[in-house]
Amino acid sequence: MIVPGGGLSPKGTRWVAYKPGFFLHARALSGLFCRLFLEGLIALHRTGELAFFGDLTGLSSPHAFAGHLAPQRKIEWVVYAKSTFRGPEAVLAYLSRYTHRIAISNSRLISADANTVTFRWKDCRVKSDDRRSVMRLATTEIIRHCGLRAPCPDCGGAMRIIETFRRGQKPQSRAPPRKVAA
């Protein structure tokens, strides 16, 4: 999340910069973020907006879900707060590192077949030279969460290809597809 260090004036005609020391200390933010994040998850669970698959289907039960979240309240959540960016270009450069890259690049792939995808990954929590490891995932898990079978955020159904772009081709501006009544 990026929080601006200021905002528009009440009339929206000029930018009003923050006063030094306007923001909360990172430690206070971590407790606040933990509470708000877990409350948000509970609200989504209560309204049926969370789906659980595989080994996690038991979390559909409110009691099991609450039990799963309980230990999260006891650990220290870490919020990384840093000083302001130097203008909108710096914000875009920062965000683009996270939004415009693929999850598993070809150079990290070791093998893939109809049943399994094997790739290299680096565990940043390990503080030694032995951080690189190999992971194997079922092909169905990769496709369901990352690929063509990813669910639609509106209806939960399978995504449909509505257009394919050639390299260098710019997409045309268009309205999102309309929902089709079943």
Lowest mean pLDDT among 6-15, 76-85, 141-150: 141-150
Query: Who contacts 78 (Cβ-Cβ below 8 Å, separation ≥6)?
Result: 30
What's the confidence (pLDDT) of residue 78? 83
The pLDDT assigned to 154 comes to: 65
**What digits encode the pLDDT tens for the residues 15-32?**
887 777 666 677 788 888
C-beta of residue 15 within 8 angstroms of C-beta of residue 6? yes
Q: Are 148 and 159 spatial neighbours (Cβ–Cβ below 8 Å)?
A: yes
Asked whether 134 and 116 are in contact (CB, 8 A), the reply is no
- Of the ranges 29-38, 82-91, 117-126, which one carries the lowest mean pLDDT score? 82-91
Report the side by side order of strands in the sheet with 116-122. 109-112, 116-122, 132-138
**Lowest-pLDDT range of 2-11, 130-139, 154-163, 169-178:** 169-178
Tens of pLDDT, residues 66-100: 999 999 988 888 887 766 667 767 777 777 666 65
In percent, how much of the chain has pLDDT > 70? 65
Residue 67: its pLDDT value, please?
95
| Mean per-residue pLDDT of the chain | 76
Q: What is the b/e burial string over 62-85, where b = at least 16 CB atoms within 10 angstroms of the residue's CB?
A: eeebeeebeeeeeeebebeeeeeb
Which range has the worst mean pLDDT, 40-44, 111-115, 150-154? 150-154
Contact 62, 45 (CB under 8 A): yes
Answer with the residue of higher pLDDT: 9 or 148. Answer: 9
For residue 11, is pLDDT > 90?
A: no
**Which parts of the chain fold into alpha helices (H)?**
26-46, 62-69, 88-99, 139-146
DSSP 127-156: -SS--EEEEEEEHHHHHHHHSTTPBPTTTS
* Structure confidence at residue 148 as a pLDDT band (50, 70, 90): very low
Helix (H) or strand (E) holding 117: strand 116-122
Hey, which of 12-21, 61-70, 130-139 has the most confident mean pLDDT? 61-70
Measured CA to CA in angstroms, residue 119 lies from 42, 130, 134 at distances of 34, 16, 6
CB 5, CB 84: distance < 8 Å:
yes
Place of tokens 């309205």: 175
Residue 40: the pLDDT is 94
Per DSSP, the three-state class of 120 is strand
